[in-house]
Chains A and B, each alone.
Chain A
């Protein structure tokens, strides 16, 4: 403990210095670059949503735009509420009982999907009605897993290194993931929940090689097995749509008239964009050709209309966002704040990477949205709430 105290004192000093220099640079307690980048992504997102949805929206061309804008206003309120609350409340959320309550709430919301409150659209029940709002419980689960893991890990840093502790934690994440997949039939959200949990555990545990070799190997083996399975299946037509998507991924042109249509049309959009694109608003593929173009496939239209330049700019914006999250995490005054920030970091990074991997047909279609840009009220408001957490941690660092 003596050793620990001396390091702690050193750390404390370093932090104080950093805080002082920061305070000299800015009088504001809010991390402005993070806000600017986030706002930039959202404004860009609104532009693209209008561009892609105006054609499909019917008479009221801005209907999608308005819905998204409303969600972002709600998200702004969420950021504000999170940022002004005392740090102790943030700590309170990580309290042993409260974190279980949060986890329980997330599960409760997921189970609400099975009640008449659930809204079914496009063959899946993914939303519940809360007064005038439609909420996607899968998004709540993502926030819950970040808070739960951050508090639990920071409280029991040694225990999680034991086999029992590790599997205890992964068990909790597993239950949540299975529920997300089982109840809302949302594989992508389940993957993200599990991904956040696994990677947060990787960050916090001392082990390097088992996880660094084990997980990639596991993913590789499971993937190969799945591919082998669907390829050698005697009757591919009878497979469920998830397996079909693997077949489509392997050869999208073969399924152009059926389920491969969306993937292939997105590829056409990307390919036809060129270096600078056709100009914003001038894309053709969004005109009814790509299904759900304002949603999961919005990146393809960014490529079509703004070309490689647009795609790179979007990725650079995300990189800056993530870099700011990383910086705030590193300057967090405690491991809880740091893990919160890293959780959000991982959430955003996972969604960006998975979304673009899907759009470019580098992996099978799962339906992940692009953070801050894709159309989707729940996604954007909860992401903004998460950004609020990061901003709150950053504020604590400076005061």
Chain B
């Protein structure tokens, strides 16, 4: 009992001490609250993360005119490893191994790397294992984990030693959007691509960046009046979808044909170069200005813009060499849209514009005749200049239509003299040359300094301008202007997007065709259609006619100035079908890799023919012409069928056509009587050029000498073509 009393006495003392300590503890809490309360309150609030999570928006898709996806943003997942969760779970670290196994099995990651990382960073909370995982891959992993764990749970029911499960909280997925282009290289220049941070680059992606971009949503915390932390979510606003005027099928046909041409002629004349420096094709609906296809070569892969593996090593080397040895710049060079961002001298295709303006002004009339002696001298005294025709003998006495069909320089210069400088420039502006077309694509070139104006245009400049030399144009300008010639004279602004939709598919904006002005009268337009049909029927463009169809068009061969006389830009610009023009097509081959200009022009025509042969049936435009056996065989080889409807073409119309053809050819033969006597070289039997005595082909009158140019004086010396823009002083990029 002594012990108990002793204990009780001391217990009272101990209890008293404990009580004192309790009071002291309360005192401690009070002092902390009193002395540091305000400071700590602020500290606590300051530590909170108020804008923690960004919810990414989905960039709008780009569709073709039929709703086919050209570009869309796909939800992808970043795989995040939380080592802290993995190493601190209640499995005593045993769940680490099955988790690593699951990750390496389903996501294809190296297990030993993972093990090392977890060992070295057991507390790391945010480690990105892999990026851009597809939804399927993520689901695959989640299913695997769920199945595995269910299996283990089942086994553990009977097992003494529990098997570890996969830690399903240690791996989580963060979603993101990735821009995907299902067509890969399809319409690459027109569409453009996006940078990693979602900014559009080139083409539609850049031009419509604001429409395509949405607004990021956000999940964030804020403090209420009672200093309570609330979290709230503002959902992301997704970007708008573009419905373009592009038709994927037509686009694809154009690209394939361009590629075929370029691969066929790669390295043909200049080693390690493609079939051409650039090849471009635009197909446009002439009644609306809608662009159905815009293709160019070289191309690139939208999903991997830096990839150059589709070109041969030699070609890549050559490209890098041209980009001053900068591989990056060479790659960037591929992104440039030739159709809108590069200018060139258009050549003879512009004769249609010169003739059209002269007819519209009334200074010439259908049937007016001009005499071509093979060259034209103008100016006086020392400033006398001679410019020659392609046909060195001269085309003789020809009417306006034949001048266009034969692409006679002399006749065009005579017409140009009638038009005069002021009117020529006025019409040129009306046709939008020198101005941007404002097509809805990023990077359209400014050409205002590349055409002549009242101050810079002299007689020689006017003369060369009549047949498309001396000034520069872009493809889009030319085809837009040409469309106005063949649609009744109405100039439409070319455009690529016809509808903007929101992310639910509701229409935000319809983009209607925009007719800017009437450039020529309907009468003139009809005449131009007739002339252009003549070009293909019996003129320079016969090769461009697709089997079973009748089309109109105009060829062009421009000498590239300042690059030596060997280089040309060849082109064919046409419309189809002849009886009711619907579409315009413009094919440009810049510096074809072929030996002679004559060949180049032929290839432009053939390219057009190849494309139209497939595009016209697709567009439900029926054949109107009888097929020759050779053509039937050709179509068979292409795997196509004649769309020649027996009803659509009556015997009469065919015979009419043939009659008219006959009559034209009769006229032609009359016109073709040369006014200049052909001198035959007695030694070689060749025809001799009357001016510089070069040997000529006795049939065509074309020079045999590849170095020959229409810009030569009597001694064979080159005459400088006056340029609106001096290519030698290429210091400023004319593209703004």
* CB closest residue in chain A, given B17: A349
State how many angstroms separate the Cβ of A120 from the closest Cβ of chain B.
Answer: 6
Question: B7, B25, B90: which contacts A335 (Cβ < 8 A)?
Answer: B7
Is there an interface contact between A360 and B28, defined as CB atoms closer than 8 Å? yes
Question: A204, A267, A285, A349: which contacts B18 (Cβ < 8 A)?
Answer: A349
Is residue B8 contacting chain A, with contact meaning CB distance below 8 A?
yes
Which of B2, B11, B28, B227: most chain A CB closer than 10 A?
Answer: B11
Q: Which of A31-39, A221-229, A240-248, A308-316 binds B? A: A308-316
Is residue A383 contacting chain B, with contact meaning CB distance below 8 A?
no
Is residue A121 contacting chain B, with contact meaning CB distance below 8 A?
yes
Is there an interface contact between B40 and A268, defined as CB atoms closer than 8 Å? yes
Is there an interface contact between A203 and B11, defined as CB atoms closer than 8 Å? yes
Q: Which of B29-37, B113-121, B508-516, B708-716 binds A? A: B29-37
- CB contacts under 8 Å to A, within B653-676, are none
State how many angstroms separate the Cβ of B472 from the closest Cβ of chain A.
Answer: 64
Is there an interface contact between B37 and A338, defined as CB atoms closer than 8 Å? no
Q: Which of A76-84, A98-106, A318-326, A390-398 binds B? A: A318-326
Per-position contact with B for A299-342: 1 when CB-CB < 8 Å, else 0? 00001000110011001001100110010011010110011001
Question: A7, A122, A308, A326: which contacts B33 (Cβ < 8 A)?
Answer: A308
Per-position contact with A for B39-51: 1 when CB-CB < 8 Å, else 0? 1110111011000
Is residue B26 contacting chain A, with contact meaning CB distance below 8 A?
yes
- Chain A residues whose C-beta falls within 8 Å of the C-beta of B43 in the assembled complex: 268, 272
* CB closest residue in chain B, given A132: B162
Is there an interface contact between A284 and B48, defined as CB atoms closer than 8 Å? yes
- Chain A residues whose C-beta falls within 8 Å of the C-beta of B30 in the assembled complex: 308
* CB closest residue in chain B, given A353: B21
A157 with B21: in contact, given A203-B11, A284-B48 (CB under 8 Å)? no
* CB closest residue in chain B, given A355: B25
Question: A4, A58, A120, A284: which contacts B2 (Cβ < 8 A)?
Answer: A4
Is there an interface contact between A4 and B1, defined as CB atoms closer than 8 Å? yes
Is residue B105 contacting chain A, with contact meaning CB distance below 8 A?
no
> A318 CA to B21 CA in the complex, in Å?
12
Per-position contact with A for B11-24: 1 when CB-CB < 8 Å, else 0? 10011001101100
Question: A8, A279, A284, A308: which contacts B29 (Cβ < 8 A)?
Answer: A308
Is residue A278 contacting chain B, with contact meaning CB distance below 8 A?
yes
* CB closest residue in chain B, given A211: B10
State how many angstroms separate the Cβ of B684 from the closest Cβ of chain A.
Answer: 95
> A269 CA to B228 CA in the complex, in Å?
14
- CB contacts under 8 Å to B, within A52-97, are 58-59
* CB closest residue in chain B, given A127: B92
Is residue B169 contacting chain A, with contact meaning CB distance below 8 A?
yes
Is there an interface contact between B228 and A154, defined as CB atoms closer than 8 Å? no
Is there an interface contact between B92 and A353, defined as CB atoms closer than 8 Å? no
- Chain B residues whose C-beta falls within 8 Å of the C-beta of A339 in the assembled complex: 7
> A275 CA to B19 CA in the complex, in Å?
22
- Chain A residues whose C-beta falls within 8 Å of the C-beta of B159 in the assembled complex: none
> A273 CA to B90 CA in the complex, in Å?
32
Size of the A side of the interface (Cβ < 8 Å), in residues, is: 64
Is residue A11 contacting chain B, with contact meaning CB distance below 8 A?
yes
> A119 CA to B18 CA in the complex, in Å?
35
Is there an interface contact between A8 and B37, defined as CB atoms closer than 8 Å? no
State which size class the interface on B falls in.
Answer: 35 or more
Is there an interface contact between A353 and B11, defined as CB atoms closer than 8 Å? no
Is there an interface contact between A342 and B7, defined as CB atoms closer than 8 Å? yes
Is residue A140 contacting chain B, with contact meaning CB distance below 8 A?
no
* CB closest residue in chain A, given B21: A353
Is there an interface contact between A11 and B169, defined as CB atoms closer than 8 Å? no
Is there an interface contact between A121 and B18, defined as CB atoms closer than 8 Å? no
A271 with B47: in contact, given A204-B3, A329-B11 (CB under 8 Å)? no
Is there an interface contact between B25 and A268, defined as CB atoms closer than 8 Å? no
Main secondary structure of the interface of B (DSSP, over half): helix
Is there an interface contact between B32 and A271, defined as CB atoms closer than 8 Å? yes
> A283 CA to B227 CA in the complex, in Å?
10
Is residue B229 contacting chain A, with contact meaning CB distance below 8 A?
yes
- Chain B residues whose C-beta falls within 8 Å of the C-beta of A26 in the assembled complex: none
Question: A204, A349, A362: which contacts B6 (Cβ < 8 A)?
Answer: A204
> A241 CA to B41 CA in the complex, in Å?
29
Is there an interface contact between A278 and B228, defined as CB atoms closer than 8 Å? yes
* CB closest residue in chain A, given B31: A360
Is residue A179 contacting chain B, with contact meaning CB distance below 8 A?
no
- CB contacts under 8 Å to B, within A1-52, are 4, 7-8, 11
A157 with B10: in contact, given A271-B37, A284-B229, A311-B29 (CB under 8 Å)? no
State how many angstroms separate the Cβ of A155 from the closest Cβ of chain B.
Answer: 10
Is there an interface contact between A285 and B44, defined as CB atoms closer than 8 Å? yes
Is there an interface contact between A322 and B10, defined as CB atoms closer than 8 Å? no
A122 with B25: in contact, given A204-B7, A335-B3, A338-B7 (CB under 8 Å)? no
> A163 CA to B494 CA in the complex, in Å?
109
Question: B6, B26, B33, B47: which contacts A273 (Cβ < 8 A)?
Answer: B33
Is there an interface contact between B3 and A154, defined as CB atoms closer than 8 Å? yes
> A349 CA to B19 CA in the complex, in Å?
9
> A89 CA to B248 CA in the complex, in Å?
92
> A18 CA to B2 CA in the complex, in Å?
20
Question: A203, A271, A274: which contacts B7 (Cβ < 8 A)?
Answer: A203
Is there an interface contact between B14 and A346, defined as CB atoms closer than 8 Å? yes
Per-position contact with B for A100-139: 1 when CB-CB < 8 Å, else 0? 0000000000000000000111100000000000000000
State how many angstroms separate the Cβ of A237 from the closest Cβ of chain B.
Answer: 19
State how many angstroms separate the Cβ of A207 from the closest Cβ of chain B.
Answer: 10
Is there an interface contact between B11 and A284, defined as CB atoms closer than 8 Å? no
Is there an interface contact between A271 and B8, defined as CB atoms closer than 8 Å? no
Question: A278, A303, A312: which contacts B227 (Cβ < 8 A)?
Answer: A278
A270 with B33: in contact, given A315-B22, A326-B15 (CB under 8 Å)? yes
Is residue B717 contacting chain A, with contact meaning CB distance below 8 A?
no
Is residue A178 contacting chain B, with contact meaning CB distance below 8 A?
no
* CB closest residue in chain A, given B28: A360
> A43 CA to B4 CA in the complex, in Å?
35
> A121 CA to B91 CA in the complex, in Å?
9
Is there an interface contact between A271 and B36, defined as CB atoms closer than 8 Å? yes
Is residue A380 contacting chain B, with contact meaning CB distance below 8 A?
no
* CB closest residue in chain B, given A319: B22
> A353 CA to B18 CA in the complex, in Å?
8
Is residue A289 contacting chain B, with contact meaning CB distance below 8 A?
yes
- Chain B residues whose C-beta falls within 8 Å of the C-beta of A121 in the assembled complex: 88, 90, 92
- Chain B residues whose C-beta falls within 8 Å of the C-beta of A204 in the assembled complex: 3, 6-7
> A269 CA to B40 CA in the complex, in Å?
7
> A275 CA to B39 CA in the complex, in Å?
15
Is residue A202 contacting chain B, with contact meaning CB distance below 8 A?
yes
Is there an interface contact between B18 and A357, defined as CB atoms closer than 8 Å? no
- Chain A residues whose C-beta falls within 8 Å of the C-beta of B45 in the assembled complex: 284
Is there an interface contact between B44 and A342, defined as CB atoms closer than 8 Å? no
A335 with B44: in contact, given A270-B29, A271-B37, A274-B37 (CB under 8 Å)? no
A270 with B32: in contact, given A120-B92, A121-B90, A157-B2 (CB under 8 Å)? yes
State how many angstroms separate the Cβ of B37 from the closest Cβ of chain A.
Answer: 5
- Chain B residues whose C-beta falls within 8 Å of the C-beta of A287 in the assembled complex: 229
Is there an interface contact between A7 and B88, defined as CB atoms closer than 8 Å? no
Is residue A282 contacting chain B, with contact meaning CB distance below 8 A?
yes
- Chain A residues whose C-beta falls within 8 Å of the C-beta of B40 in the assembled complex: 267-272
* CB closest residue in chain A, given B10: A203
Is residue A141 contacting chain B, with contact meaning CB distance below 8 A?
no
What are 13 A-B contacts defined by CB distance under 8 Å? A8-B1, A11-B4, A206-B6, A273-B33, A282-B228, A284-B44, A287-B229, A308-B26, A338-B4, A339-B7, A352-B22, A360-B28, A360-B32
Given contacts A204-B6, A272-B41, 7 further A-B contacts (CB under 8 A): A289-B47, A308-B29, A311-B26, A330-B11, A334-B4, A345-B15, A356-B25
A interface vs B, CB < 8 Å?
A: 4, 7-8, 11, 58-59, 119-122, 153-154, 157, 199, 202-206, 208, 267-275, 278-279, 282, 284-285, 287, 289, 303, 307-308, 311-312, 315, 318-319, 322-323, 326, 329-330, 332, 334-335, 338-339, 342, 345-346, 349, 352-353, 356-357, 360, 362
Which 10 residue pairs spanning A and B have beta carbons closest together? A271-B40, A157-B3, A272-B41, A360-B28, A268-B40, A272-B44, A203-B10, A271-B36, A356-B25, A349-B18
